[in-house]
Amino acid sequence: MRGAAVGAWSAAMAVAAHGFAGGGIPGESSIVALILACAAIGTAVGAAVSSGRRYLVIVVALCAGQLVGHFALVLTESHAHGGNFSLLMLASHVVAAAACAALICSAERLYCVAASTLDQLIVATSAPVPVVGPLRTSPPLYRPSVVLRLLVSAGAGTRGPPA
């Protein structure tokens, strides 16, 4: 889920920060290149296991995703700013990466809380009800009318090795 979120947010924020800083509206070829690049970044983040510095790893992955996304937008179409980075463009990408990383980390934490709450709720509602009182057994209602010796002797005799 983290990889899908990083890939999707990288693409969305690359386009938003790119447009906010003066880039044009991307065309079809730019969008295809952006989706492929951000899907690769998301796959790499989803395969990586990070436990201690999750926020830092996500910020770096989002910055890399936006960098790749920016180059996908710049290389597929000619923009007014060319391939150069302005300070406003760089600041827009870094702020977007930090904000998205905070959202992704918060969503992961809230998912853990919601999943554990749902797990406890399921355990509490599906607990077996204790039986109070003695158990009553009743005799079987159906008794076959066939004699047992007829059932035993109905075959070819007893099984055993040949004599």
Domain presence at residue 136: no
Distance CA 84, CA 90 (A): 10
Domain count, the chain: 1
Six-digit token string for 98: 């930090």
**pTM for this prediction:** 0.61
Residue 138: per-residue pLDDT = 78
Domain presence at residue 83: yes
How many helical (H) and strand (E) elements, i.e. helices and strands, does the chain have?
A: 5, 0
Residues of the domain holding 94: 2-122
Domain presence at residue 134: no
pLDDT in tens, 117-137: 999 888 888 877 777 777 777
Which residues lie below 8 Å from residue 30, measured CB to CB, with a gap of 6+?
72, 73, 76, 77
Domain presence at residue 107: yes
pLDDT in tens, 50-70: 667 778 888 888 888 888 887
Residue 114: per-residue pLDDT = 92
